[in-house]
C-alpha cells in the first residue's frame, strides 16, 4: 500500500512539473517575458524550481535587459542540473545557457568575462559551434579581426561545412583585407 502511494505521489509530481514547464515554455516562446518571469517566480516560491524554471527565467530576463539577474538564474539552472544523467539529457539546453551567459557579458560590455566564459564552455564541449561564433563576434566588437578569424577557424575545424561560420569567415577575411590595406596606405 505504501509503495502504491509513493508511486502515485511521484507520478503526480512529474505531471505537475511537466505542466508547469509547458506553461513557462509557452509564455517564453510567445514572448510574454514578464508573465514567464512571474510563473517562474511562483515555482521558485513554492520550492518547485528545477533546471527549466531557472533556465526560462534567465532567458526572459535577458530579453528585458536584466543581465545580472539573467546570469544568476542561468547559473542556478546549470547548478540544478548537476547529476550526470540529467547533464546528458539536457546537454543542448546547458550549452545554450552557457552561451547566453556569455551573451549577457557581451551585452554589458564585459568582454573579458565573456571570452573567459566561452573558453571554459569550449573546453567542456568543443562541438557546440555557437561558442565559436559568439567568440568571433566579440573579437570583432573589439576590432581584433585576427583573433575573430582564429575563433571561426577553430569552429570550422569541428564542422568544416557550417554555412554560418563559412559566411562569417568570408566577412572577416574582407574586413581583415581592408584593415591591412589601410595600414599599408597609412590610414
Instruction: State pLDDT tens for residues 12-28.
Output: 656 777 889 899 999 99
Instruction: State pLDDT tens for residues 148-158.
Output: 999 999 999 99
Look at the domain 21-125 and name its fold: 1.25.40
pTM (2 d.p.): 0.86
Instruction: State pLDDT tens for residues 76-126.
Output: 999 987 665 666 778 999 999 999 999 999 999 999 999 999 999 999 999
CA distances from 74 to 10, 30, 34, 56 (A): 27, 20, 17, 8
- The domain limits of the chain are 21-125, 132-187
Provide the 10 A C-beta neighbour count for residue 16: 11
Q: What is the mean pLDDT of residues 121-134?
A: 97
Mean pLDDT, rounded, of the chain: 91
Q: Where are the alpha helices (DSSP H) in 30-141?
A: 33-45, 51-63, 67-79, 84-89, 91-107, 111-124, 129-141
Please report the pLDDT score of residue 47 as a whole number: 84
Q: C-alpha cell of 48?
A: 518547485
Amino acid at each position: 500500500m505504501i509503495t502504491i502511494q509513493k508511486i502515485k505521489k511521484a507520478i503526480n509530481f512529474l505531471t505537475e512539473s511537466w505542466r508547469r514547464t509547458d506553461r513557462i515554455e509557452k509564455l517564453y516562446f510567445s514572448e510574454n517575458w514578464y508573465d514567464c518571469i512571474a510563473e517562474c517566480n511562483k515555482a521558485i516560491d513554492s520550492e518547485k524550481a528545477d533546471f527549466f524554471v531557472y533556465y526560462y527565467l534567465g532567458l526572459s530576463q535577458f530579453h528585458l535587459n536584466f543581465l545580472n539577474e539573467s546570469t544568476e538564474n542561468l547559473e542556478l539552472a546549470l547548478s540544478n542540473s548537476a547529476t550526470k544523467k540529467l547533464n546528458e539529457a539536457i546537454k543542448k539546453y546547458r550549452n545554450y545557457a552557457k552561451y547566453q551567459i556569455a551573451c549577457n557579458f557581451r551585452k554589458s560590455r564585459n568582454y573579458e568575462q565573456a571570452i573567459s566564459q566561452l573558453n571554459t564552455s569550449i573546453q567542456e564541449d568543443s562541438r557546440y559551434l555557437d561558442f565559436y561564433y559568439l567568440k568571433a563576434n566579440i573579437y570583432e566588437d573589439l576590432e581584433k579581426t585576427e583573433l575573430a578569424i582564429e575563433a571561426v577557424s577553430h569552429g570550422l575545424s569541428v564542422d568544416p561545412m557550417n554555412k554560418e561560420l563559412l559566411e562569417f569567415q568570408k566577412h572577416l577575411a574582407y574586413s581583415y583585407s581592408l584593415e591591412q590595406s589601410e595600414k599599408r596606405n597609412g590610414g
